[in-house]
Each structure stands twice: as structure tokens, then as C-alpha cells.
A and B are shown apart, each in its own frame.
Chain A
Amino acid sequence: MATQHSRSAARLMMAPAVILLLGWMLVPLIMTLLFSFKKYLPLRGGDLGWVGFDNYIRFVTSSAFWPSVLTTLTIVGGVLVITVVLGVFLAILLNQPMWGQGIVRILVIAPFFVMPTVSALVWKNMFMDPVNGLFAHLWKFFGAEPVAWLSEASLSSIVMIVSWQWLPFATLILLTAIQSLDSEQLEASEMDGAPKLAQFGYITLPHLGRAITVVVLIQTIFLLSIFAEIFVTTQGSFGTRTLTYLIYQRVLESQNVGLGSAGGVYAIILANIVAIFLMRMVGKNLDA
């Protein structure tokens, strides 16, 4: 049982982390809130006074707002589905007996080490370019018309690039989880003559529940704010403008800090809505 002494010591030890994060959250947040109620145009002289909720109304009624929310959710959702499904498949595959398991694992996790900027540049220029890209050559080889990936299938292309980056992460966590699966349980079910699919559905998948939750949680946090991949590839055209990118356009391209800050507040609200869902899920699945 924890003593009174250790309780206060614990509080003290937690303090630096909590205070730092509180400061990191509150100071910019308060400044953002402040800006969001102002007409703040650095290129026209900076702070031009209070405007009430004008920025909020303008941001949410702009024709770009709802599509950007939808785009954000599509990218997050798409990447999550792809990485989890392929991740489970890969984890099971890598857990089988084989030659050179270590090397295969190295190959599979490699994309995780690549900077998002670099991976976006490489995919955009060397693979998805409709004239010189490798895909274009491949398509032509099979007699098909090369696809202009980043304009004709822009959203799927970005989902693909991001999935490539995050698949290793999902695979690793799921692999660790599978390795901890009780092999006796599996053998027993095999003895009972359970078909592979049922074995997967009734034993493996439930066992992976926790790991999948963790993958979803961590990835969502990172995916909600992806920026480099869009900045490098499409710059928000062809329906790839996420909420983050829309705010970027308002703050930096139009230099309308007030409007952008209002957008920032909306983004925080969206993130928190998603967070609440996630926390519910985690709370059930993860006895922290």
C-alpha cells in the first residue's frame, strides 16, 4: 500500500512533466484563442482589433471547411484500415517458421525510418510521376495508359504513401502481440480440428484486440496532423486539403492569423472529439 510519504513524493516526481505539458498546451492555446477573436493580418499592419466571433463564422461557412473535415477523416480512416488489416496479415506471416526471418523483419520495418518529406518526394517523383515514374513504365509495359496518380487518384495516393510509412509500426506491435499468444491454446484448437479461419477468428483476433487498440490510438494521433506528405505532393489540390492544410493556407499563405487561429480552435475540437471516442475505446480495452 502506498504511504502518504510516497504519495507526495509521487506527485513531486510527476510535477515536471505535468507542468511542462500544461505550459506547452496552455500558452499557445490561450494565444490562439486570443488571436481567433481578432482581425489579425500581419501583412496589413498586424492586430486590427477585436471582431468577436467573425473569424469562427467565416471559417466554418467557407466552402472549403466541410470537405476538409471529410478529407481528414478519410485519410485517417483509410490509413488505419489498411495498416491494421495488412499489419495483422504481415504479423501472422512473419510469425511463421521461415529462413531469414531477421532480414525480412528488417526489410519490413525500414519505411518507418524514412522521413515523411523524403518518402513523399520519392513516391511523388520516382513512382507516381505519370511520365517518368516507375508505375508509368509498369503500366506502359502492360499496355495500359499511365495514371496521373496525384491528380486522378489523389486521395488514394496519399493514403497509400502514408500507409507505407505506418505499416511497419502496426506490424511490429501486432507481431509482438502474436508472439505472446499461447501456443498451447492454438495447438489444442488444432487438435479439435478447428479450421484455420475459425482459429483466427476466435483465438488470434480477440487476442490482438489490445494491440489493435494501441495501434489505432497512436496512429490517429500522428495521422490527424499529417502535413509534409500533402505539402510535398499535391499542396492541397484535388480534394486532398485536410483541416490541417486548410489552416496552413489561412495562416501562412493568406497570412490571416485571426481566421487561421479560429480554424486551429476547430481543429482542436475535432481532435478532442476523436480523442474522446478513442479514450472510450482504450479505457475499455486498456486497464491503464
Chain B
Amino acid sequence: MSLKKTLYAASAFALLAGASYSETTVTIATVNNGDMIRMQGLTDDFTAQNPDIKLEWVTLEENVLRQRVTQDIAAKGGQFDVMTIGTYEVPIWGKQGWLVSLNDLPDAWDADDLLPAIRGGLTVDGELYAAPFYGESSMVMYRKDLMAAAGMEMPEAPTWDEIKAAAAAMTDKEGEVYGICLRGKAGWGENMAFLTAMSNSFGARWFDENWKPELNGAEWTATVNYYMDLMNNYGPPGASTNGFNENLSLFQQGKCGMWIDATVAASFVTNPKDSTVADQVGFALAPDNGMGKRGNWLWAWSLGIPAGSDATDAAKKFVAWATSKEYTALVASKEGWANVPPGTRTSLYENAEYAKVPFAAMTLGSINAADPTAPSVKPVPYTGVQFVAIPEFAGIATQVGQEISAALAGQQTVEQALDKAQMLTSEEMEAAGY
């Protein structure tokens, strides 16, 4: 028996004996958002508990990440054992059988503690396909000092017209203060996430019950016109290339009076280390138009395990660790309660310490106000608040987003943009066989 064979035999034996002797590598694909980078920094805690598991991180910018994981799972490349995905991907991939069910995570992980709205978005036919790492909705963040200076007060649940009045009052272009900052950068997860959520409050919908697109209908036209009006009069220059990060940066520098965006942004804008306006931020629910729906979305960055993974058990251990109550406590002990990943667990919002965080209540209220199964005023054939949970949506909405972005940049009118959007959506839906 050669040495090599002996080694093989030995390692095979070790595997049979319970895999505890060999080191398992778990490759994790994740976004370069602040919460994930923090998680990466805290992995020593996990590897101390699981010395036989080695973690490999692939941290990428959101667009690159999305392309990489979609490509990998669709072609069954098997490069990753844990993927950071959202409420858009999970139902689609889960239905295809591409994700490992997480129903068998240990009881201590406590699935019943997850917020119902978030859990529902990650469950297909009773199987939980991804564990939420942080959940978010959207809300209004505003500058209390600027509002006070303008002699105004922000209601807790404003209407769009109140938002417009506040934006007009706070805008001071000479002083580089813009009344309102909104997403303008094209992308289904950028401007279209905001606009689709906004359109819900205007009574618009992407498709009617027969999957016929309604993008150049009256409701969408009203939505986009209102958005243009806000941005052109009270928005920052070059808004058509501003995404979440660009707006965050502007707000932190004190250049925005209001910003309607993800609830997770609250911890960044109130962090005195990065934000020059940390102590002056107020929060309000996303606006409505008196039609019964608010313009807020629902999203959860979640950890899923692709079905082809060769380290499923180790991956499950990691997912359970990263989304556990203990992890929340760990972050709280090191970085303070304001920095724990929000929006996934009921227990967090029942925690007396967390209740002191200024944006906790507003975040929970916003998440609970979103309903993915009935996003708009009229009935729709799809689920998803700021997206439509069909595989074609990402491609379609990114192109629609580009048309609207071009309109915002003044290269075409709203009508032209929406007509083009309607046409390309029809084309794509037809190509997909609807």
C-alpha cells in the first residue's frame, strides 16, 4: 500500500468517523455593506466555536455580487456554500429547488421569533429557504434643525404633498442644501425599488391580472411626474447617478433636508463618527397619498445555501450563527445596540435596551406596514412590494430604470420614457412566454 493510498484511506475513515478531523471550508459570497463587513470582522467568534470549519469570504459590490451568484446558481457552478441574497431571489430560486431548506435549523435558533412579514417573504410552500440577516423597509429621514428653521413640523405619517412642502421650505441651493434626496441611479434595486414602492401609494401596478404591463398608464405617469417634480426642483445636481450610497454620503455631509430610503440607513446617519448631522435626524413613515398604501418597501438581505454545496452542514452552522440572537448580542456588546443588524426578530424589538435606539420603533412600524402579497391598491398577479417576483423582473426593471434615469437627466420626457418602458416590458414578457 503506497503512502498516498494510506492517506486517502485514512481521510476517508476520518470522514466516516464524523468529519470532525478534517477541516471543512465554507465559501461565503456577500455584499460589501457595513453590516456584512462587521460580520466578517467577527468571524473569530464562530471559528472559536467551530474549529473544524474554515470560512472563505468573497466580498463584492452589490451589482457584481448579484451577477456572480445568479450566474453560479443558474449554471450550477457550485462555487459558493453560502450566498447573500434578498427577498427577490429567494422565492424564485426556492421554487426551482436550488436552495437548501432551512426548516431543520436547531430549535435554539428560534424560527418563530422572526418577524412574520420577513419570514413570509423567505418561505416557499412552508419551507424556509434563507435566513434573514437584516431586514429593512423604507422611511423618511429628515433634518430636525432645518425643519425647525423653516418653521415646520414633520408629521409621523406624512402625505406626499406634505413632503413636497417640506422639501420646498428646506431647499437652499446657494448653501448646497437640497430639500430632498432620492434614488436616481438606474437599476431594479436602485431607482426602481424606490419608484415601484412609491407607485404603490399612487395606486399604480406593474402588471394587471393578465400580466399586461401598465407602465404608461395614468397612475405610473402621475408617480413619475411627481418624482421628477420633486427631484428637478428640490433635488441635488446629478441626481440621476445617485444610488443608496451616494445619497447616504450626501445626507451625512448635511446636504439633504430629507431622504426617503432604507431603514438600515438610520444607523449610519445617526452615527457621529461618519455623519456630520448625527444628532439632528428625525424619522417618519414613508409618505402616502390617502389611497390606503404607503410608499415603503420590504427587503431582507438573507443567507441561503445553494443545493449543490458540498459543505451543507457546516454552511448551516454558519448561517445559524450569523442570524442568531447570540450574534445580535455579540454585536451589541462590541459596537452598541444601534449597530446590530435590524429588522429580523421580534425579540430584538421587545428588548428594552434596543427600544432606546431612536429609529427602532419607526423601523418596526415600517416593516409591518408593508404587505408583499397585496402591494398595491388594485389586485396584482404577483408578490413583492418594490419588485415583481418573476425571474425576468431584474432585467426588465433595470432597463425601465435606465429610461427613467435618462428622463431625470433631461434627455427625454416622462411620457417618452414610460412609452419606451412599456414597449420594452411587453417585448421581454412576450419573449419569456407570458
Which of A's residues lie within 8 Å of B, judged by CB?
41-45, 58, 62-64, 129-132, 145-146, 148-152, 231, 234-239, 241, 249-250, 252-256, 259
Contacts and interface: CB of A to CB of B under 8 A. Distances in A.
Contact of A253 (B92, B176, B398): B398
By Cβ-Cβ distance, the 8 closest A-B pairs, closest first, are: A254-B395, A148-B238, A130-B238, A42-B74, A43-B391, A151-B409, A237-B402, A151-B240
Nearest to B67: A252
Interface in B402-423: 402, 405-406, 408-411, 420, 423
B406 A237 contact: yes
Given A42-B74, A45-B96, A252-B70, A238 B406 contact: yes
Contacts of B408: 151
Interface string B345-357: 0000000000000
Nearest to A58: B431
Given A44-B391, A237-B240, 15 more contacts: A42-B75, A131-B255, A145-B237, A148-B238, A149-B238, A150-B238, A150-B241, A152-B238, A235-B187, A235-B402, A249-B399, A252-B70, A253-B67, A255-B70, A255-B74
Contacts of B236: 130-131
A236 B424 CA distance: 15
Nearest to B76: A42
Contacts of B395: 249-250, 253-256
B110 interface: no
Contacts of B241: 130, 148, 150-151, 234
A152 B236 CA distance: 14
B405 A237 contact: yes
The listed residue with most B CB atoms (<10 A of its CB), out of A129, A131, A249, is A131
A113 to B, nearest CB: 23
A131 B238 contact: yes
Given A41-B391, A151-B240, A249-B398, A238 B409 contact: yes
Contacts of A132: 249
The listed residue with most A CB atoms (<10 A of its CB), out of B75, B176, B241, B394, is B241
Contacts of B428: 254
B431 A259 contact: yes
Interface of B: 63, 67, 70-71, 74-75, 92, 96, 176, 186-187, 236-241, 246, 249-250, 255, 391-392, 394-396, 398-399, 401-402, 405-406, 408-411, 420, 423-424, 427-428, 431-432
B237 A146 contact: yes
B431 A63 contact: no
A249 B63 CA distance: 12
A238 B187 contact: no
B238 A151 contact: yes
Contacts of A249: 395, 398-399
Contacts of B240: 148, 151, 237-238
B427 A44 contact: no
A63 B420 CA distance: 8
B339 to A, nearest CB: 25
A215 B145 CA distance: 58
B256 to A, nearest CB: 11
10 contacts: A130-B238, A130-B241, A131-B238, A132-B249, A151-B406, A236-B402, A237-B406, A252-B67, A256-B395, A256-B432
B94 to A, nearest CB: 12
Contacts of A63: 420, 423-424, 427
Contact of B237 (A131, A231, A238, A253): A131
Nearest to B250: A131
A130 B241 CA distance: 9
B410 A152 contact: yes
B224 to A, nearest CB: 16
Contacts of A250: 395
A258 B99 CA distance: 25
A151 B220 CA distance: 23
B92 A237 contact: no
Nearest to B431: A58
Given A41-B391, A235-B63, A130 B237 contact: yes
Contacts of A41: 391, 432
A63 B410 CA distance: 20
Nearest to A251: B71
Contacts of B71: 252
B188 to A, nearest CB: 9
Nearest to B424: A63
A152 B409 contact: yes
A131 B173 CA distance: 12
Contacts of A149: 238
B288 to A, nearest CB: 29
B114 to A, nearest CB: 26
A63 B255 CA distance: 38
A253 B250 CA distance: 29
A254 B432 CA distance: 10
A56 to B, nearest CB: 13
B427 A43 contact: no
Contacts of A129: 238, 246
Contacts of A148: 237-241, 409
Contacts of A237: 186, 240, 401-402, 405-406
B409 A64 contact: no
The listed residue with most B CB atoms (<10 A of its CB), out of A234, A237, A249, is A237
B405 A64 contact: no
B237 to A, nearest CB: 5
Contacts of B238: 129-131, 146, 148-152
A256 B429 CA distance: 12
B233 to A, nearest CB: 16
A184 to B, nearest CB: 55
A58 B431 CA distance: 8
B186 A235 contact: yes
A242 B236 CA distance: 28
Contacts of B399: 64, 249
A149 B240 CA distance: 11
A130 B238 CA distance: 6
